[in-house]
Amino acid sequence: MTRKVTKAIFPVAGLGTRFLPATKSVPKEIMTLVDRPLIQYAIDEARAAGIKEFIFVTSRGKGALEDYFDHAPQLEMELAQKGKTELLDTLKNTNMESGAVAYVRQHKPKGLGHAVWCARRLVGDEPVAVLLPDDVIAAETPCLKQMVEAYAETGGNMVAAMEVPAAKTSSYGVLDVAEDMGHMVSVKGMVEKPKPGTAPSNLAVIGRYILAPQVLDNLDSTQAGAGGEIQLTDAIAKEIGANNNVYGYRFRGQRFDCGSKAGFLQATVSFGLAREDLRDDLSQFLQDIAISQQAAE
Ligand code: UTP
126-141 confidence digits (pLDDT tens): 999 999 999 999 999 9
- Ligand 1 centroid–CA 250 distance in Å is 23
Same domain assignment for residues 278 and 249? no
Residue type, position 289, single letter: I
Q: Tell whether 2 is covered by a domain.
A: no
Q: Which residues line ligand 1 (CB under 6 A)?
A: 11-18, 28, 57, 106, 109-112, 114-115, 132-134, 259
Specify whether 165 is located in the same domain as 280: no
Q: Is residue 212 part of a domain?
A: yes
Nearest residue to 41 (alpha-carbon basis) of 207, 167, 246: 207
User: Ligand 1, residues 9, 15, 205, 219: which to mutate, most atoms within 8 A of Cβ?
Assistant: 15
| Domain assignment of residue 43, yes or no | yes
With respect to residue 296, please indicate whether it lies within any of the assigned structural domains.
Answer: yes
- Give residue 129's region: left, alpha or beta (phi > 0; psi -120 to 50): beta
* 148 and 291 fall within a common domain: no
User: Going by CA atoms, what residue is nearest to atom 5 of ligand 1?
Assistant: 14
Residue nearest to atom 23 of ligand 1 (CA): 14
The rounded Å distance from CA 206 to ligand 1 centre is: 13
pLDDT at 225: 65
What is the reported pTM?
Answer: 0.92
Q: Is 192 in the same domain as 266?
A: no
Same-domain pairing of 206 and 75: yes
| 282 and 171 inside one domain | no
**Percentage, residues of the chain above pLDDT 70:** 97
Q: Is residue 1 part of a domain?
A: no
| pLDDT tens column, 71-120 | 888 888 899 898 898 888 888 878 888 889 999 999 988 889 999 999 99
Whether residues 270 and 132 share a domain: the answer is no
Nearest CA to ligand 1 atom 1: 14
Comparing CA positions, the residue from 216, 41, 204, 11 lying closest to residue 123 is 216
Tell whether 172 and 85 lie within a shared domain: yes
Ligand 1 pocket test, pick from 30, 131, 132 with the greatest ligand atom count within 8 Å of Cβ, gives 132
Specify whether 147 is located in the same domain as 198: yes
Average pLDDT over every residue of 260-271: 97
Give the Å distance between the CA of 112 and the centre of ligand 1.
6
Same domain flag for 127 and 226: yes
Question: pLDDT band at 155, cuts 50/70/90?
Answer: very high
Between the CA of 193 and the centroid of ligand 1 the distance, in Å, is: 15
Residue 201: is its pLDDT beyond 80? yes
Read off the pLDDT of each residue in 238-256 and give the average, rounded to a whole number.
90
Mean pLDDT of the chain: 91
pLDDT, tens digit, 9 for 90 and up, residues 202-230: 999 999 999 999 999 998 876 666 666 77
Average pLDDT over every residue of 251-276: 96
How much distance in Å is there from the Cα of 17 to the middle of ligand 1?
Answer: 9
Instruction: Please say if the pLDDT value at position 263 is more than 70.
Output: yes
CB neighbours (10 Å) of residue 185? 22
Q: Quick one: pLDDT at residue 243?
A: 66
**Structural domain contains residue 147:** yes
The pLDDT > 90 percentage for the chain reads 69
Ligand 1 midpoint to CA 219 (Å): 17
- Residue 157 bridge partners (DSSP): 246
Residues 226 and 287 in one domain: no
Tell how far the Cα of 208 is from the centroid of ligand 1, in angstroms.
14
Mutate to test the pocket of ligand 1, among 38, 43, 112 (most ligand atoms within 8 A of CB): 112
Check residue 226 and give its pLDDT: 63
The total of structural domains in the chain comes to 2
pLDDT of residue 109: 87
Domain boundaries, position 282? 260-297
Residue nearest to atom 22 of ligand 1 (CA): 14
Measured torsion, CA atoms of residues 192, 117, 10, 13, in degrees rounded to the nearest 10: -80
In this structure, are residues 95 and 71 in contact, taking their beta carbons and an 8 Å threshold?
A: yes
pLDDT of residue 120: 93
Confidence of residue 150 (pLDDT cuts 50, 70, 90): very high
Regarding whether 278 and 217 lie in a shared domain, the answer is no
